[in-house]
Amino acid sequence: MVKAVKEGKNLEARKDMAMSALLSGLCLSNSGLGAAHALSHPLGVYYKIPHGLSCTVLLPYVMEYNLPVVTKKLVKIAESLGENISLLSETEAAQKAVEKIKEVLSQAGINSNLSEWEIKKEDFSRLIKDAKGGSLNNNPRDISDENLIELLYKMTGLY
C-alpha cells in the first residue's frame, strides 16, 4: 500500500492495490463488516469524509477494541505482516498487528485521526444512531454506545 500511495505512477504497485481491494471486497461480502464500516457510513453522510479514509483511520482503533475476542486472528495478522512475535505473549503479539497497521498508515501519510474534518462532539449521538444495524451487528465483540463514543473520541483527535 505504501508504495502505491507514495509512487502513484507505479503501475505494478497500483495493480497490486487494485487486486487487494478486489480480494478484500470478496472477503467482506462473505464475512460481514464491523464497527469501522458502521461508523464510516454516517461520517461520510454528515462530514463528506471518504469512506475508505474513515475506515482506514478507524481500523487500528477497532482492531484494538476487538483484540480480546480476536486475539488469535490478530496474531496471524502480525505474523503475515512480518512481525517477530516469537518471544511475545499472545496478547502482546496481537497488539503488534495493531501497531504495524498504525505504522503502515503513517508511512503512507495517513493521519492517525480525522481531526482536520472537525467532527463535533455534539454529533456523536447522531453518528452512533446511524451506525446501528447491519455492519455493526457483525462486529466480533459486542459494542455499546459508550464504546462507540470512545472510538469516536480516539479517531477524531478529541481524546
- Say if residue 62 is in the same domain as residue 1: no
Report the percentage of the chain scoring pLDDT > 90: 64
* Domain co-membership, 17 together with 42: no
DSSP string, 87-144: TS-HHHHHHHHHHHHHHHHHHTT--SS-GGG---GGGHHHHHHHHTTHHHHT-SS---
Q: Are residues 123 and 144 in the same domain?
A: yes
Tell me if 44 sits within 8 A of 54, measured CB to CB. yes
**Judgement on whether residues 20 and 8 belong to the same structural domain of the protein:** yes
Residue 42's pLDDT is what?
94
How far from the centroid of its chain's Cα atoms is residue 43's Cα? Answer: 14
52 shares its domain with 5: no
Instruction: Check whether residue 8 and residue 56 sit in a common domain.
Output: no
> What Å distances lie between residue 148 and 17, 39, 107, CA to CA?
30, 8, 27
CATH number for the domain including 76? 1.20.1090.10
The pLDDT-based confidence of 29 (bands split at 50, 70, 90) is low
Residue 61 shares a structural domain with residue 25 = no
What is the predicted pLDDT for the residue at 15? 83
Which of 59, 58, 93, 87 lies closest to 74 in space, CA to CA? 93
Residue 159 predicted with pLDDT over 80 = no
User: E strand or H helix at 7, and its extent?
Assistant: none
Q: Are residues 111 and 140 in the same domain?
A: yes
Whether pLDDT at 16 is above 90: no
Range of the domain at 111: 33-156
On the question of pLDDT at 25 being above 70, the answer is no
Asked if 84 and 65 sit in the same domain, the reply is: yes
Which pLDDT value is given to residue 11?
85
Give me the helix-helix angle, 51-66 and 35-47, nearest 10°. Answer: 150
Residues 132 and 74 both lie in one domain: yes
Look at residue 46 and tell me whether its pLDDT is greater than 80.
yes
Tell me the whole-structure pTM to 2 decimals: 0.85
Q: C-alpha 138: how far from its chain's center? A: 14
d(CA 111, CA 108): 9
Residue range 107-130, pLDDT digits in tens: 989 988 888 999 999 999 999 999
Q: How many domains does the chain have?
A: 2
